[in-house]
């Protein structure tokens, strides 16, 4: 419900009118009676402000955003709490948003130079934020605001960041949604991987593409509008070349967008580099071969032939939003021909975009050469429900573990092939030797973990690396949200996989049952076979919902072992999708080069290490289900799509 006009908040801010309402909450124009100026008040939605964790992070991030002073970032003046509602006080801008200008433009195509200037200025603001390790995570046209002089400032720092911090479970994340607007998200955001400033660059490139072309970069004729189909398009399918929509666009702009929209985060420019590249294009405006930009919206588009109407599913993220997906424009049949990942050609002169290191607070850039990347295999195909012949299943020896009833599958030792996937941290493909080991047939369940918590409550001693040093008084091993209604919604039965446990929790459980976490090489061998012969745990067939739980097809994980069609020939279940699984290794993007020849594993050396996770989850796109896919998290992170299974030496 909106606040009444004239109400005085925090004894100084008099409300004038509501000027917007978005995913985070309402925005009001108000008058600061103490300073004598007009301000914007953003009210955090009630379901967020009632969550104590979000409240604390909101305050922390508002303080951080208040330190960010830049001519292209909306200034945060203050924040306050009144009647249990949270407000952030921001600079008021009266020039509208880029979204407004797109909606008012013919064909939703903004003047090229207006779009380039707006995005360059926003990128300059983002660059300043990235220098302070602030990542926006929700760059979209509605967050690019104009002042009365036409200068762009980017809004909502401190709001979005506060809703997604340190992996803590919240009312928001428990039900499977996340901050950000899906159609502008980067592939790593959708995958639930760690992000840095280059994730914002991807989103800004998506905004720039749409502002110029009037359609989104992934739109093709007849594409479905379900959330899973959109995730698939964003994560797997190369962008439609923008000059198919805007044939008179300078090739330099096309190449810049190709570079910024590349799927691999380490291949993208930083915000500073992309802003510099746009500035160079603007400086060369008189040299570029371009028709009158105001005429571009009315020019015929290449390959636009009428197509039969295709029924579309609902767009689930926010159908009522002003930024939901418009109807797809029809494109040429040749655009539909491929869904494989392709290596983009360089966007600009390498000296302008690649010499400086890409900035970002977290993700380390790959050390792989461009030559190695160009030789990467194509992405796996997308969804395909057609069943292909599979090899007969050859069950390995099994053993039931006494303490928790888990079934262990014993796998023979010997040489095994690892690596060779499409991401740079999956290279090189190589052969190593493994000793015989056993691994759980399925992830640890809620029932099994509850028995562990009962044992802990009675007092047990566990030998877990770093545990005693970091938690001298003992650690609370209960999953985040344990016992709450939200957790019961996430995992409603005892047969669901346990989630919201960190690396120490998983390691402690493994020690309790007389086992350990698998190394990532053991996990990969179990998933793809001794000779690395399987793309997915079940074989070469593309992911389908009969084989794996992925693509946010529900509001949480499913009970373990429900999809026997996705089992490995040895009988291992849920090795792809449902929940990511902790491994005992420290993550290193160059691990496949550094590994020893026999029983390789990079040990956790300290509390700042990042541990490997494997297998992808119910939130991920289908390409992440490949056996070679690697992920990582900080040791203390707990996520609603992250669990584990155990292993032991034979």
Instruction: Please give the structure tokens belonging to residue 208.
Output: 């720039």
Please say whether the beta carbons of 446 and 494 come within 8 A. yes
Q: What residue segments make up the domains of the chain, in order of their start? A: 98-140+180-365, 398-649
Report d(CA 401, CA 628) in Å as an integer.
28
Q: What is the mean pLDDT of residues 198-211?
A: 97
**DSSP symbols for 472-533:** TT----SPTTTTSHHHHHHS-STTSBP-S--HHHHHHHHHHTT-BPPPHHHHHHHHH-TTS-
pLDDT digits (tens, 9 = 90+) for 535-554: 999 999 999 999 999 987 77
pLDDT digits (tens, 9 = 90+) for 435-460: 999 999 999 999 999 999 999 999 88
Residue 292 is among the residues annotated as catalytic for this protein: no
pLDDT digits (tens, 9 = 90+) for 331-371: 333 333 322 222 333 333 323 333 333 333 333 333 333 33
Cα–Cα–Cα angle for 201, 204, 205, nearest 5°?
85
CATH for 98-140+180-365, options being 1.10.510.10, 3.30.70.20, 3.20.20.70, 1.10.20.10? 1.10.510.10
Residues 6+ apart with CB under 8 A from 559: 445, 493, 495, 496, 497
What is the rounded average pLDDT for all residues in the chain?
Answer: 80
pLDDT digits (tens, 9 = 90+) for 39-91: 999 888 776 667 666 677 677 767 777 888 899 999 999 989 888 788 989 99
pLDDT digits (tens, 9 = 90+) for 563-583: 999 999 999 999 999 999 999
State the pTM of this model: 0.58
pLDDT digits (tens, 9 = 90+) for 481-539: 999 998 999 999 999 999 999 999 999 999 999 999 999 999 999 999 888 789 999 99
Cα atoms found within 13 Å of the Cα of residue 280, Cβ hemisphere only:
15
Instruction: Give me the catalytic one of 78, 81, 94, 138.
Output: 138
According to the model, what pLDDT value does residue 553 have?
72
pLDDT digits (tens, 9 = 90+) for 613-629: 999 999 888 888 999 99
According to the model, what pLDDT value does residue 266 have?
87
Class of domain 398-649: alpha beta
Report d(CA 488, CA 496) in Å as an integer.
10
Instruction: Please give the structure tokens belonging to residue 477.
Output: 């091993």
Residue 314 has pLDDT above 70, yes or no: no
């Amino acid at each position: 419900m909106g606040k009444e006009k004239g109400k005085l908040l925090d004894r100084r801010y008099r409300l004038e009118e509501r000027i917007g309402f978005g995913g985070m909450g309402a925005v009001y124009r108000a008058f600061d009676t103490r300073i004598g100026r007009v301000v914007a008040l953003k009210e955090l939605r009630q379901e967020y402000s009632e969550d104590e964790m979000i409240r604390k992070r909101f305050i922390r991030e508002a303080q951080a955003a208040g330190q960010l002073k830049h001519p292209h970032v909306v200034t945060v003046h203050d924040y306050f709490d009144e009647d249990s509602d949270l407000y952030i006080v921001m600079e008021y801008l009266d020039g509208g948003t880029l979204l407004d200008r797109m909606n008012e433009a013919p064909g939703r195509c903004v003047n090229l130079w207006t779009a380039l200037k707006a995005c360059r200025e926003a990128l300059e603001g983002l660059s300043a934020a990235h220098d302070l390790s602030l990542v926006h995570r929700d760059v979209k046209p509605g967050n690019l605001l104009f002042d009365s002089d036409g200068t762009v400032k980017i809004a909502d720092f401190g709001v979005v960041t506060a809703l997604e911090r340190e992996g803590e479970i919240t009312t928001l994340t428990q039900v499977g949604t996340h901050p950000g607007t899906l159609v502008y998200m980067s592939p790593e955001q959708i995958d639930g991987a760690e992000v840095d400033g280059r994730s914002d660059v991807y989103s800004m490139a998506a905004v720039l593409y749409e502002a110029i072309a009037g359609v989104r970069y992934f739109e093709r004729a007849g594409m479905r509008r379900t959330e899973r189909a959109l995730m698939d398009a964003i994560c797997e399918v190369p962008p439609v070349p923008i000059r198919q929509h805007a044939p008179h666009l300078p090739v330099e702009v096309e190449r810049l967008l190709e570079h910024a929209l590349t799927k691999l985060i380490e291949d993208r420019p930083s915000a500073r580099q992309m802003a510099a590249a746009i500035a160079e294009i603007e400086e060369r405006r008189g040299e570029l071969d371009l028709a009158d930009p105001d005429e571009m919206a009315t020019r015929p588009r290449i390959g636009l032939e009428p197509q039969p109407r295709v029924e579309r599913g609902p767009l689930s993220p926010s159908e009522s939003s002003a930024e939901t997906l418009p109807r797809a424009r029809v494109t040429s049949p040749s655009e539909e021909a491929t869904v494989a990942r392709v290596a983009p050609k360089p966007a600009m002169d390498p000296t302008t975009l690649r010499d400086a290191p890409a900035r970002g607070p977290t993700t380390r850039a790959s050390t792989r050469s461009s030559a190695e990347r160009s030789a990467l295999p194509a992405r796996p195909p997308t969804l395909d429900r057609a069943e292909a012949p599979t090899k007969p299943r050859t069950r390995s020896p099994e053993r039931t573990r006494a303490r928790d009833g888990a079934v262990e599958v014993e796998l023979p030792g010997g040489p095994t092939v690892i690596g060779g996937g499409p991401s740079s941290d999956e290279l090189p493909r190589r052969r190593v030797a493994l000793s015989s080991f056993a691994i759980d047939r399925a992830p640890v369940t809620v029932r099994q973990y509850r028995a562990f918590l009962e044992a802990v409550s009675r007092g047990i001693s566990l030998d877990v690396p770093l545990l005693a040093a970091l938690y001298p008084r003992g650690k609370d091993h209960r999953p985040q949200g344990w016992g709450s209604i939200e957790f019961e919604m996430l995992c409603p039965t005892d047969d669901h996989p346990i989630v919201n446990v960190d690396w120490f929790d998983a390691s402690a459980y493994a020690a309790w049952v007389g086992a350990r976490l698998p190394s990532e090489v053991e996990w990969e061998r179990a998933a793809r076979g001794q000779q690395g012969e399987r793309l997915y745990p079940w074989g070469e067939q593309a992911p389908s919902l009969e084989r794996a739980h992925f693509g946010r097809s529900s509001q949480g994980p499913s009970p373990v072992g429900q999809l026997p069609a996705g089992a490995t020939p040895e009988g291992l279940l849920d090795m792809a999708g449902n929940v990511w699984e902790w491994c005992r290794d420290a993550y290193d993007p160059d691990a496949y080069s550094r590994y020893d020849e026999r029983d390789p594993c990079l040990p956790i050396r300290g509390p700042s290490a990042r541990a490997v996770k494997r297998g992808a989850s119910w939130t991920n796109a289908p390409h992440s289900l490949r056996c070679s896919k690697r992920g990582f998290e900080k040791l203390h992170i707990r996520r609603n799509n992250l669990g584990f299974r155990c292993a032991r030496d034979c």
